[in-house]
A and B are shown apart, each in its own frame.
Chain A
Amino acid sequence: MSQRSGLPFWPRHAFWQGVALTIVAYVLFDWGIPALRFVGIPSAPVPNSVVVEFMFIALIGIFMYVSENEARWAEFKQPIQSALVNRDKKWLRSSLLVVLPLFVGFMTFESTRPRVTADIQPRSIHPAPPTSITFRNKTIQLAGLENPLRKQGNLEDHMKEGRRVYYQNCLPCHGDLLDGKGHFGLGFSPTPLAFDGGNLPLLTESFVFWRVAKGGPGLPKEGTPWNSAMPVWEDFLTEDEIWSVIIFLYDQAGFKPRAWEAEGKEAAHE
């Protein structure tokens, strides 16, 4: 322990620096990031799985910091050795013998106690689209496919048609603001996709066409359970109605659809 101040929590001591940094990292990840909301930055509580991952990284960094040279490493180990060996630290050993099992027991209880909520079901968000689909007995090649309505007729008309389709069919789940918070939206898990986030510009229009046309039942077998409540819209909408609602979505969300790479398009058509 450093003697300069005479205080036991002298901040230059490697061990206490390690402890302090661990606490700071946890506070930052678990409370700091959600608190960004209060300074006008959109944020929310960080899921436990991510906090654990971040803490793993932070602990490795802290270990490296406190062991950067022999002197600091010895300093870091000294209180641990002292607690385990020194005669005058018997009270500490006895306390740890009680506190540590209790802590482990509490953590075990917390992670295994029955809850009313469903377990976490990891699932992939971007299902891989097939190369081609059958839409009402017509085979459509998805690879390299562009929205045909963008080169046909009047875009304004397609937009109006898309708006009609959206408000008649999609609104109850995807919401008036396209934020996935329609009247029925929160009743589903996973919740309906929000179009105002960053997902749409990552997707080609053919991908969105496939998702709308084939819905939850048309999702690929890998990565199940999808648990998607999205209906199979090819049973209710025509091909043009789906393409027009896609135009409407991109327009309203203010994004351009993802373009195909020229080279990839040629290769895909081979």
Chain B
Amino acid sequence: MTDPLYLLQAAADTAGAYGRFPGIGARNAVWIAAQVHLMFAAFVLGVPMFAVVTELIGIVTKDYKYDKMSKEFTRLLVFAYSATALWGGVLLFFLTTLYPKFWGYMARLFGPSMWVYIGIFFFESFTLYLYYYGWDRWNHGRAKWGHWGLGVLLNVWGTTVMFIANGWLTFMMSPPAGVTAETLPEQIGLANALMNMTWMPINIHRLIGNAVFGGAVVAAYAGYRFLAAKTDEERAHYDWMGYVGNFIAISTFIVLPFAGYYLGREIYEYNQTMGITMMGGFMSWLWIVQAVLIGMLFLAANYYLWLGMGRIPGAERFVPYTKWMLLLLLLCWLVWATPHTMLASREEMAAMGGSSHPFLNVLGLMSAKNTAVNIMILTTFLSFLMYRRANVRPTVSWAKNGTLVQGAMFGLAAAVVLFYGVYGYFVESIVRIGFSVYQVAAVILCIVGVTVIDVLLGRGAQSRGEIRWGQMPDRSQYALFVLAITFTWLMGLMGFARSGIRQHWHVYEVMRDTSTYASTPGLGYAANMITACVVIFLSLVSVIFWLGGLAESAAHKPKPASGD
């Protein structure tokens, strides 16, 4: 029976601590506001990274189309910033009115950082306007470099803003050692609270994640404009843009799992309970959902590249291999998505002799999954390489040997990955965990080594023919939509895993959630909520895409002849 004193204490803690929200309740209101704000924040942090990189490529290569693309995206940012600020305002008002006690605690602790945050946000907005409206004015000579510097500054402001906000949310999950319910916010110290144990892992994970997201959004925008294009010229431009977006999204995505692994490790280091809840406890099914979604990402990215090879002269020589690569990707995806503990009826469990399958159980362990993921990364990289090499005829004398060395690097990396994957079954967990480092190192070394050789091989190479930009089937563009939608969904789902492992705490083991919404929602409920947030976000992004097209068509409208 519950201790009456505890109930009295809980009632005293709860009085005036929470507000009510009609219909969906306070927690869902804050959930939607926070999630949509975060998605827009990822948009306005990811796309400037993309814009500043492509602007630099445009300056260095003197290829105008890169510059045009950067500007096109900066125009979208102007709209997206308003949406980000608006949802941020909604979140702030919801927090102050619905969770006043919690927000009061956070404000007492983080007050000065909140003032700095808003100050930097002001600078960021002003820099964006200068960056966009000064584009045509500062488009030549030294002024262009100055303009590019504004783009870099925009990213510096954006990243700083994100780092500050990350300090607040990571404090909620990993408050510094020694902080208890009795510790006054003033005693914790701002720097101590901000730079907590999961702060830097989240910073790195989100920074890379935003770059991925920026590329995916760009690719989806290009896909939308490609499908709506009326001329071959437009189709060619947006086809090329979709390729660049997909390239940046996938190439940065390849390193994202390593950053995620670092974050997961730090969570374990901070608190074993939290780590097990996330990976083996009630959040563990999210990792199977994640495996299904990321598998879909890999396949969509490869599908896009393989279809794209249809418009590259010389790519025919690689086409026979793609079906085998598809088979390999599918086998790896099946392994990755195989659950260790299965959803089974009583009869099925009796037939299996428990909730693990006697044969598939082997594929449910980390050794198998790490191996599958690394092979998928290698295969996707091979697709990129084939795409890149499709219309290139190397002229260097060592071309054949270079290609052989590249092949050997792939073979060696795959062998290392497989060896440690299999060997992992014969050693203790503590040793097995270390094997993933060797697997990752082999894959990264292969990617770096093969890329360096490829760049050198490409020097002075002859072209087998121009890429026929614009000659892409429509379904390839839907693959780009799949990328953007899946990334958005993944952000929400895995964000829930990170946030949900706090369970019934506002600040883990420091400030307890005593509201009626203290229980952690079930996965089905959470998945529905996140899907709703994804729909809201993507609907608003569609409006932004439409506005982008509207503004451009207005800008290009032919002037009426004089005398009209």
Contact = CB atoms under 8 A, between A and B. Distances in A.
B357 interface: yes
A54 B334 contact: yes
Contact of B310 (A42, A69, A131, A142): A69
Interface in A242-264: 256, 258-261, 263-264
B173 to A, nearest CB: 14
Contact of B342 (A49, A69, A201): A49
A127 interface: yes
Interface residues of A, number: 66
Contacts of B189: none
Contacts of B430: 258-261
Interface of A is mostly: loop
A222 B281 contact: yes
B292 A53 contact: yes
B323 to A, nearest CB: 6
Interface string A195-235: 00110011000000000000000001011000000000000
Q: Which of A50, A118, A180, A268 has the most CB of B within 10 A?
A: A50
Given A64-B303, A222-B277, A126 B284 contact: yes
A117 B475 contact: no
A78 to B, nearest CB: 16
Contacts of B177: 270
B354 A131 contact: no
B358 interface: yes
B372 to A, nearest CB: 12
A120 interface: yes
Interface stretch (B105-113, B344-352, B412-420, B459-467): B344-352
A60 B319 CA distance: 19
B82 interface: no
B529 to A, nearest CB: 17
Given A50-B360, A258-B428, A44 B353 contact: yes
B503 interface: yes
A129 B307 CA distance: 49
Nearest to A127: B281
Contact of A128 (B273, B347, B365): B273
B296 interface: yes
A131 B271 CA distance: 8
Interface residues of B, number: 67
Interface stretch (A84-92, A162-170, A183-191): A183-191
Contacts of A130: 273
Contacts of B201: none
Interface string B512-543: 00000000100000000000000000000000
B180 interface: no
Contact of A42 (B333, B334, B359): B359
Contact of A120 (B319, B344, B358): B344
Contacts of B359: 33, 36, 41-44
Contacts of B323: 65, 68
A129 B273 contact: yes
A263 B429 CA distance: 15
B334 A191 contact: no
Contacts of B345: 47-48, 117, 120
A223 B357 contact: no
A259 B428 contact: yes
B252 to A, nearest CB: 23
A50 B272 contact: no
Nearest to A269: B177
Interface string B260-303: 00000000111111111100111011000000100110010001
A134 to B, nearest CB: 15
Contacts of B306: 68
A105 interface: no
Interface in A41-86: 41-50, 53-54, 56-58, 60-61, 64-65, 67-70, 73
B272 A131 contact: yes
A194 interface: yes
A68 B322 contact: yes
Contacts of B346: 117-118, 189
Contacts of A50: 338-339, 342-343, 357, 360
A101 interface: no
A104 interface: no
A46 B341 CA distance: 12
Contacts of A259: 428-430
A127 B503 CA distance: 14
A53 B337 contact: yes
B96 interface: no
A97 interface: no
Q: Which of B272, B337, B359, B475 has the most CB of A within 10 A?
A: B272
A270 B176 CA distance: 10
A147 to B, nearest CB: 15
Contacts of A61: 299, 326-327, 329-330
Given A57-B334, A64-B299, A129 B272 contact: yes
A175 to B, nearest CB: 11
Contacts of B285: 122, 124
A267 interface: yes
B330 A45 contact: no
Interface in B458-500: 473, 475
Nearest to B178: A270
B428 A120 contact: no
Interface string A118-143: 10101011111111000000000011
A33 B342 CA distance: 15
B343 A57 contact: no
Q: Which of A46, A49, A67 has the most CB of B within 10 A?
A: A46
A267 B197 CA distance: 10
Q: Which of B269, B299, B326 has the most CB of A within 10 A?
A: B269
B348 A47 contact: yes
A57 B280 contact: no
Given A57-B337, A128-B280, A191-B350, 10 more contacts: A44-B351, A65-B323, A117-B346, A126-B280, A126-B284, A129-B272, A180-B353, A201-B429, A220-B281, A222-B282
Interface of A: 33, 36, 41-50, 53-54, 56-58, 60-61, 64-65, 67-70, 73, 117-118, 120, 122, 124-131, 142-143, 179-181, 186, 189-191, 193-194, 197-198, 201-202, 220, 222-223, 256, 258-261, 263-264, 267-268, 270
29 contacts: A41-B359, A42-B359, A44-B353, A48-B345, A49-B344, A50-B338, A57-B330, A57-B333, A61-B299, A61-B326, A65-B326, A68-B307, A68-B322, A117-B345, A118-B346, A120-B343, A120-B344, A126-B280, A127-B276, A128-B273, A128-B274, A128-B281, A131-B273, A191-B350, A193-B354, A198-B356, A222-B520, A223-B282, A264-B272
Interface of B: 177, 268-277, 280-282, 284-285, 292, 295-296, 299, 303, 306-307, 310, 319, 322-323, 326-327, 329-330, 333-334, 337-361, 365, 428-430, 433, 473, 475, 503, 520
Give the top 5 A-B pairs by smallest Cβ distance, nearest first: A126-B280, A223-B282, A47-B344, A128-B276, A49-B343
